[in-house]
Each structure stands twice: as C-alpha cells, then as structure tokens.
Amino acid sequence: MMKPGAGEEDVQVLVERPYSHENRRPPDHHPVPRQGQQLIRARPYYRRWSPWLVSAATVACVALFLVTMYVNDCPKHNSNCAAGFLGRFAFQPLKENPLLGPSSATLVKMGALHVYKVVHGRQGWRLITCMWLHAGVVHLLINMLCLVFIGIRLEQEFGFARIGLVYLISGFGGSLMSALFIRSSVVSVGASGALFGLIGSMLSELITNWSLYANKAAALASLVLVIAVNLALGILPHVDNFAHIGGLVSGFLLGFVFLVRPQFAWLDHQRMVAAAAAAAAASGGAPPPPPPAGAAGGAVKRKHKTYQYVLWAAAAVLLVVGFAVATVLLFRGYNANEHCSWCRYLSCVPTKRWKCDSSPT
C-alpha cells in the first residue's frame, strides 16, 4: 500500500546525465534540462517521525498507575488484599476489583471521572485526568498494548503534533459522552476513548485520502470489522462503551481535519520543481523554469481535492458545535438517559450471567 507524505516531506533527488564525448559542454554552459538530454528522477522520501509521544504516553500511564497503587495502600485499609506480598502496592480484593487495581475511592482521589463532582463540584479537569488513570493491571496492559500497536504507526506517518491532538481531543470527547450518559455515582477511568479516537481517525484518513490508496475495499473492511468487534465487547459489564463511542466519533471527525494528505499529482510537480532546481544548482547555472505538471504540460494540480476541503470544513464545524453543545449540557446537569431510554444498552446489556450496575472502566 503506497501513501504520500503529509506535505512537509524531504525529497532526495537523483540526477542522471547520459555521458558521451558528443554531449560534453564548456564549464560555463548550463542548458535547461530537456527530456531526452537529461533524465531527472525524483525519489520521494516520506519523513518517518520518531514515535516518542506514544512512548511518553505509555510511560505516563504506567507511572500514574504506580502512584495510584502507592496512594491506595490496600493493606492499611483491608486485610484481604490480593498479592499481599507487594506490600503497599497490593491490589484490592478481587471481589471488589477483578482487574487487579485500586479502590474506586482512590481512583476518585486521583482524578477519575465522577459526574457529580464534575457538574456540582465544578471539577471539569476530571474530563482530562480520567484518561490517564486505569482501574487495574489488566486494564492498563490491554490499553497500553493497543496504544503501542495503533499509535506508533500513526505517529510515524503523521507526527507527534497531529496524533497528539487526535489522542487528547478524542479522549476529551469520550469523557464528555460518558459524563452525559453514565450515572452520577459511577466512576470511570481509562484511555480507551482516546484509543478509539485513533481508530476512528484511521477510518476517516482512509476515506479522505481514498484516491491515494490501493486495496481500498480490503482496508475499509478490516477497519470496520475491528471497530465493530471492539464496540460489541463494550456491552460487557465494567466497560464504559459511551467513552468508546464518544472517542470514536471525535477521532473520526478529527481525522478529516488533521490527517489529510496531498494528492500525488501535486507532489509529483513539487518534486519535479525541486529536482530541476537541484540540477541547476549542481551545475552552477540559473534555476530553470518550473517544469509543467503532468506529462502533457497541463495546469498545476491542486494540493487537495475538492471533496477533501468539503470534508475538512464539515468535520471542523461538527466538532466545534458538538463539543460546545455537549459541554454546556453537561454543566447544566443534563442527563441523557432521561431522554433516551434505550441508550443504556449501548454500554451494557444485562443477561442472566451479569448485571449492569457496576462501575465501568
């Protein structure tokens, strides 16, 4: 699968001259390159960013989990701690937290999403801090593996700035939707909303850069299948599927804004201009006129196609309006469950084997 760069790519230029006694020229003669006399071939090198942001986010989540376990100090408050040999870092009893982690009270103390405290305590910062906390070792391990698997490739292709914005804004979007739907007494933590945002951005990146991809149908089917399976798992208890859905929708819209790629024709023209300028500089002559775009010398192609601009504008408007409306509704105490009786089944479907009254992660 071949994909172009994001617009700030480096370009390596390989200049080949047919050499013979007949085409020797005096040192002060610098002809304009012409097809058949000089072959200028641009070999694109798409910048590969170092994925330090993903590494930093992983380290931060692990460090905060260790701090949370230190603050939890299970042996001080409970005599039935799991893995008691860990001392202060021992886990809460498995009946209380089967994910091998701290108590809900400790998570709230560390910044977990607690709707009552967000709305009535004016602690809006919890919408951000909750995405850096995890309910247990199992929860942390799953999320960090997903972050490394998904995030590294995206950061290598698009850089830390854009992927960082997608990650953080998607996490905030997931927290917003979760806060609008979960009960005020429920505690929610985890980076899953941000991770679903990365997955959603992959889907929109494929759509907005559709003409640049090979094997489009296979790539689209794979992404849709991954999203469907993960959302289906969200109906299990202890899972905050509202955060997943909110993060997914946010990331999907953000992908149209941040992950747009230039068209091949525009990139080819830029490389030809750079190659011609490099050839002139190497020979010491004046830069030749820019080569025409396209083999037939047609007009210069635009950097992006019309549909990419349309998707960019529509996604940007939906993001701004959606986040503004959701934030206002949240701090006015709006409870979405009162206006959507079936929405609770998007996060948990009760069965004979489990109930849906536990705190999600």
pLDDT of residue 274: 59
Closest by Cα among 202, 186, 169 to 240: 186
pLDDT in tens, 140-159: 999 999 999 999 999 998 99
Tens-place pLDDT, residues 285-310: 555 555 554 444 445 567 767 888 99
Sequence ranges of the domains in the chain: 112-261+304-346
CATH class of the domain defined by 112-261+304-346:
mainly alpha
CA distance 182 to 115: 8
- Number of C-alpha atoms within 13 angstroms, CB side, residue 225? 6
Q: What is the pTM of this model?
A: 0.78
Q: Which amino acid, residue 222?
A: S
User: Which of these is catalytic: 114, 134, 244, 304?
Assistant: 244
pLDDT tens-digit map of 317-326: 999 999 999 9
**Distance (Å, rounded) from C-alpha 1 to C-alpha 216?**
9
Among 178, 192, 204, 359, which one carries the catalytic annotation?
192
Whether residue 222 lies in the annotated active site: no
Element (H, E) at 108: helix 104-110
Task: Please give the Cα distance from 103 to 87 (Å, whole number).
Answer: 16
Q: Which of 42-56, 93-107, 213-227, 228-242 is the least confident region?
A: 42-56
Return the DSSP state at 82: B
Would you say residue 3 has pLDDT above 50? no
CB-CB contact of 319 with 250 (8 Å): yes
Handedness of CA 287, 289, 290, 295 (dihedral sign): negative
Question: φ, ψ for residue 189 (rounded to 5)?
Answer: -140, 165
Residue 262, SS3 per DSSP? coil
Q: Is 347 an annotated catalytic residue?
A: no
> What average pLDDT does range 22-49 have in this prediction?
45
Cα–Cα distance measured from residue 124 to residue 269, given in angstroms and rounded to the nearest whole number: 48
Q: Between the CA of residue 318 and those of 249, 311, 324, what are the distances in Å?
A: 10, 10, 10
